Copies of this chain bind each other. A is one copy, B any other.
Amino acid sequence: MDMIPYLAAASAIAALLLAAYYYKAVEAAPAGNDRMVFLMTEIQKGARAFLQAEYKWVSIFVVVLAILLAIVIAPLAAVSYVLGAVLSATAGYVGMTVATMANARTTEAAKSGPSKALPVAFRGGAVMGFSVAGLALLGLMFTYLLFVVWLEVDNAFNIVTAFGLGASSIALFSRVGGGIYTKAADVGADLVGKVEAGIPEDDPRNPATIADNVGDNVGDVAGMGADLFESYAGSIIAPISLTAFSANLIASDNGTDGIVQLLVFPMAIAFVGMIASIIGSFFVKGGDSTDSHALSKALHMGTNVAMGLTVIATVIIAYYLFGGDLFDKPWGLAVSVIGGLVVGWALGKTAEFYTSDQFNPVKKIANQSETGPATTVLGGISTGMVSVAASVALILIGVGVAYWGGEQTLGAGGGIYGIAVAAIGMLATTGVVVSVDAYGPIADNAGGIAEMAELDPSVRNVTDALDSLGNTTAAVAKGFAVGSAALTALALFKSFEFAIIDANPAKALNLNVGEVDVFIGLFIGAGLPFLFAALTIDAVGRAAQQMIEEVRRQFREIPGLREGKEGVVPDSARCVAISTEASLKEMIIPGALAVVVPLITGFISVNALGGLLAGALVTGFALAIFMANAGGAWDNAKKYIEAGNHGGKGSDPHKAAVVGDTVGDPFKDTSGPAMNILLKVMTIVSLVFAGAFV
């Protein structure tokens, strides 16, 4: 049993070795002609410049919070916090670097068909996937072993939790900053390029095209990677801190005898999940067909194998750890974990149902575009809102099953532990899930490069087939991210409650919603996600506006650019710089909000803070689902029309659908995904500072 943290650390090292192997494999693939290499290098330079600038800004924030942690909690908490932040940033940087190497190589491989191109794109994504999972698990196990097992310091679990706060800090800024960047560039490129200048997407004449492709990488690769890094770390930390802070509550029947099992169970699941992900990744092989069904099967094979193995191993682990006399039915917690996995999968499927053009909701929106942009917008809004109700129902089933499972093994009071481990069920296979998810933007970039390098249209056909697949695979990762966010935040919230009682048992914590301070907190909590959404939507608007003006200026001032005269190139670097500056400036206020508001509230009233976290969790969850799915639905309704329905490209319904898609851009790629992290940052900040509040 004591070996489990070491095994988990070893599996993390194996994941990092696999990432290195995939890195070599990507590097070895040919990157194509000079033009392609040039484009790839430009995108890479832009993406790196953004991340470097972003990390510079974020490091100020990290240093301030580290000092606060060192003073208020413990100097070692600051160390653990910084470690979490640095490892998350490292995973993002490495993953993105490789993604920006894999794009042109995927284009080059696409010349020989999808069976060659799919593995290149997947391997590029897999470097991200296994860097994220490997560094998160290795860092966390190192922190745990160092402070809890080897040094046995005071506040050890607070210090371990600070690792999660570090990961959350990076995730929040990466999602917000990256989300603003990618949409500002996208909107800027589309609005002036496609609409005003009348040139196709990814046309080399458009000065914002490089920035647009950089955006895919900083938003969908680096942002998503940091998001999953923090979700994954958070899901393992939640049951550990819950156990630590509520030790006497959970194990009341057995004294402290069962504590170790509860501490290592999440690590054991992470261990088998990692091994399963490594094995699963070898099952991804491209076929010779561009048929989307066959490609989809090839890509999902890795995830399915990894999940199947994890399910089997979970049952074995549950019986191994909880089979003794100390516990009741050992299968209970296996049910919790597997229940989490199933609900996460179902959440992904729900998102797919509401956002894929295979199903009615998107077809209905496409149909509504016949009566103009207003009905298109209303259709997307109501679709997104209905999907909230469906997702809430699923989460509640997950919560109920996980709670019940926890009680089966641990007795009354163990239900919340079941909820905490259900989140790990969703995220145990993060390695392969992120690999598949990061594959999407690589394929998207590959298409952009094919277009900009003016390759044969057949190449673009292959990359398009790979790209369209990316949209549905992203739904799976989103389902897990959203579901685990709700469950992890709920478990962390409970840990927060225990931590307050632990820190000062005399302090009467009363989180009854009928109390006025709790209710005031609930109100603040419900209002915050709306404010956050408004700030990020406005930020995208302002940044996009700057981009639009710059693109217009270049078309106006650079002679021959619009006409595509030989040798005339746009000043892409200027667009990249504008996106970078604007998005970094805009990320500061919404990012700071997530940390400052709970801290101020907590020092005034912990009851109000409790209400705030609960209110923000439920409202933020609803708003996140609404925005993500409304945005996804509009996007695919537009693509459905572009595929030739309702008059196809250029028709009035298409124009209406483009309006919906543009409204949805900041919804689904900026505000929505950042909302989940907002919730967790607020909860984890409160948990880490719980002792200081009372």
Contacts and interface: CB of A to CB of B under 8 A. Distances in A.
Interface of A: 191, 195, 368, 371-375, 377-379, 381-383, 385-386, 388-389, 392-393, 395-396, 399-400, 403, 415-416, 419, 490, 493-494, 497, 510-514, 516, 518-520, 522-528, 530-531, 533-535, 537-538, 540-541, 545, 548, 610-611, 614-615, 618-619, 621-622, 626, 658-660, 662-663, 666
A528 B519 CA distance: 19
Contacts of A400: 520
A386 B531 contact: yes
Given A377-B659, A378-B663, A514 B610 contact: yes
A518 B382 CA distance: 27
Given A541-B375, A619-B526, A516 B388 contact: no
A493 B518 CA distance: 13
Given A389-B527, A531-B388, A403 B516 contact: yes
Contact of A514 (B368, B494, B540): B494
B618 A522 contact: yes
Contact of A534 (B372, B382, B520, B663): B382
A614 B527 contact: no
A526 B663 contact: no
Given A385-B537, A388-B527, 12 more contacts: A191-B371, A377-B663, A382-B535, A382-B537, A386-B534, A393-B527, A490-B519, A513-B610, A525-B618, A526-B621, A526-B622, A618-B619
Contacts of A382: 533-535, 537-538, 541
Contact of A511 (B385, B512, B548, B658): B512
23 contacts: A371-B548, A372-B662, A374-B660, A375-B662, A377-B377, A382-B533, A385-B530, A385-B533, A385-B534, A388-B534, A389-B531, A392-B526, A393-B527, A399-B516, A494-B514, A497-B514, A511-B512, A511-B513, A512-B512, A513-B610, A522-B618, A525-B618, A530-B626
Contacts of A535: 382
Nearest to A513: B614
Given A512-B512, A526-B619, A534-B389, A614 B519 contact: yes
Contact of A415 (B372, B415, B516, B524): B516
Contact of A520 (B373, B396, B493, B494): B396
A535 B381 CA distance: 11
A628 to B, nearest CB: 13
B523 A396 contact: yes
A522 B622 CA distance: 11
A522 B389 contact: no
A662 B399 contact: no
A373 B531 CA distance: 22
Nearest to A533: B385
Contacts of A493: 513-514
Given A614-B522, A615-B618, A622-B526, A379 B541 contact: yes
A533 B326 CA distance: 50
Number of copies: 2
Nearest to A372: B659
A530 B625 CA distance: 11
Most buried by B among A373, A510, A518: A373
A232 B493 CA distance: 38
Contacts of A626: 530
**What 5 A-B pairs come out closest when comparing CB atoms?**
A374-B662, A385-B534, A392-B527, A526-B618, A389-B531
Contacts of A511: 512-514
Nearest to A529: B622
Contacts of A618: 522-523, 525-526, 615, 619
Contacts of A381: 534, 537, 663
A124 to B, nearest CB: 32
Nearest to A522: B618
Q: Which of A372, A494, A523, A666 has the most CB of B within 10 A?
A: A523
A125 to B, nearest CB: 31
Contacts of A611: 513
Contact of A659 (B374, B512, B523, B545): B374
A527 B622 contact: yes
Contact of A524 (B195, B396, B660): B396
A131 B374 CA distance: 38
Nearest to A661: B374
B514 A392 contact: no
A339 to B, nearest CB: 14
B530 A666 contact: no
A395 B524 CA distance: 10
A373 to B, nearest CB: 5
Contacts of A537: 378, 381-382, 385
Contacts of A660: 374
A208 to B, nearest CB: 15
B663 A374 contact: yes
A513 B518 contact: yes
A394 to B, nearest CB: 11
A177 B340 CA distance: 41
Contacts of A490: 519
Contacts of A373: 373-374, 377, 659
A168 to B, nearest CB: 21
Nearest to A399: B520
A379 B660 CA distance: 14
A184 to B, nearest CB: 13
B386 A666 contact: no
A388 B529 CA distance: 10
A531 B523 CA distance: 20
Nearest to A402: B516
A287 B526 CA distance: 45
B392 A524 contact: yes
Contacts of A514: 493-494, 497, 511, 610
Contacts of A396: 520, 523-524
A539 to B, nearest CB: 9
A315 to B, nearest CB: 24
Nearest to A614: B513
B389 A666 contact: no
A131 to B, nearest CB: 34
Nearest to A620: B526
